[in-house]
Amino acid sequence: MKGKIVSTAGGIYTIYVDGITYNVFPKGIFKFKKQHLCVGDNVNFDENEFVITEILERKNELIRPRSANIDLLLITMSVVEPDLSKELLYKFLTYANMNGIEAKVLFTKLDLLKDKSELNSLIEDLNKLDIEVFSISKKDDSDLNKIKEVTKGKTTIVMGQTGVGKSSFLNLLDEKFERKIGSYSEARGRGKHQTKEVILLPFNEGFIGDTPGFSALDLELFKEDLAQFFPGYNKYYTECYFSNCLHQNEKQCKIKEKISKGNLSKEGYEIYIKLLSDLKYRNERYSK
């Protein structure tokens, strides 16, 4: 029988088929071949012997949050508690681009933000990059219907730091999800994660995934990746004179040209430069 892995715990995988779940074991052969199953995998399994017999080809996969066959990443950022980090947001967006996965942004806790002017200019920048943005707060859930529309029939992964309100948002989408909510102070403290693994919840003719929070440092990203996949840069990257241009002081840099012409955001570039200085070279060991 064919199904989708929706969660895993203690070496047992939960497979979902048309409203029914089965708890099964992977066959020894997967471990032997170093094929690692993950949440989101479509598999064939033997429902009598409770073993997974085959992993079907993945359309894509992410290392963090560990998941496969993703149609949409909903990058979730709180505007306060924790404060909005544009660097982190652009890092997440770069990561999505790099993995070839469509991303949309969800801002949470708007009820706690007094001055929205900075947020609004960020949203404008994102919209110019054709990135759709939603916002929700305890007082205003009017974007929920839009989110229901864009997630219909898809496998969506809700990703973001611990404490931004991912689980709260899922409970708003469907109260039957009954996701455990952590407190912000807990999240800051010893990093008590309420969610240990990605779990896919059947939703709206597809699935929506709650994920464990993780630190930005967990994302494997190098300077070269940023130069190519920073939001908006992928389109022009190949037109830079140097194929490995980092868009700093290199000659005939298309990105810098687009910025001076106003086609790419100056503020975005400042964030780019800051992120660039924090990241390592992928090919460092070959230089010098």
Ligand X SMILES: Nc1nc2c(ncn2[C@@H]2O[C@H](COP(=O)(O)OP(=O)(O)O)[C@@H](O)[C@H]2O)c(=O)[nH]1
Q: How far is the CB of 253 from Zn ion (least distance, A)?
A: 3
Our finding on whether 195 is near Mg ion (CB under 5 A) is: yes
**Which residues in 176-235 contact ligand X (CB under 6 A)?**
181-184, 187, 194, 213
SS (H, E, C) 120-144: HHHHHHHHHCCCCEEECCCCCCCCH
For 121-158, b/e burial (b = at least 16 CB within 10 A) is ebbebbeeeebebbbbbeeeeebeeebeeebeebbbbb
CA distance 220 to 267: 24
Q: How far is the CB of 157 from ligand X (least distance, A)?
A: 13
Place of tokens 């085959």: 54
* 107 touches 119 (CB < 8 A): yes
Q: For residue 193, what is the enclosing H or E element?
A: none
Our finding on whether 167 is near ligand X (CB under 6 A) is: yes
Our finding on whether 156 is near ligand X (CB under 6 A) is: no
Our finding on whether 126 is near Zn ion (CB under 5 A) is: no
Our finding on whether 164 is near ligand X (CB under 6 A) is: yes
Sign of the alpha-carbon dihedral angle for 231, 235, 241, 244: positive
Which residue number is nearest to Mg ion in terms of Cβ? Answer: 167
Closer residue to ligand X in complex, CB, 172/276: 172
DSSP string, 17-71: ETTEEEEEEE-HHHHHTTPPP-TT-EEEEETTTTEEEEEPPPS-EETTTTEES-S
Residue 158 structure tokens: 């809700």
Our finding on whether 92 is near ligand X (CB under 6 A) is: no
How many residues sit close enough to ligand X to count as binding (CB under 6 A)? 22
Closer residue to Mg ion in complex, CB, 8/167: 167
Out of 40, 65, 82, 165, the residue judged to bind ligand X by CB under 6 A: 165
CA distance 5 to 22: 9
Binding part of the chain for Zn ion, among 67-75, 161-169, 190-198, 247-255 by CB under 5 A, reads 247-255
Q: How far is the CB of 255 from Zn ion (least distance, A)?
A: 4
Closer residue to ligand X in complex, CB, 115/205: 115
Tell me which residues touch Zn ion (CB under 5 A): 240, 245, 247, 253, 255
Tell me which residues touch Mg ion (CB under 5 A): 166-167, 194-195
Tell me which residues touch ligand X (CB under 6 A): 108-109, 111-112, 136-138, 160, 162-168, 181-184, 187, 194, 213
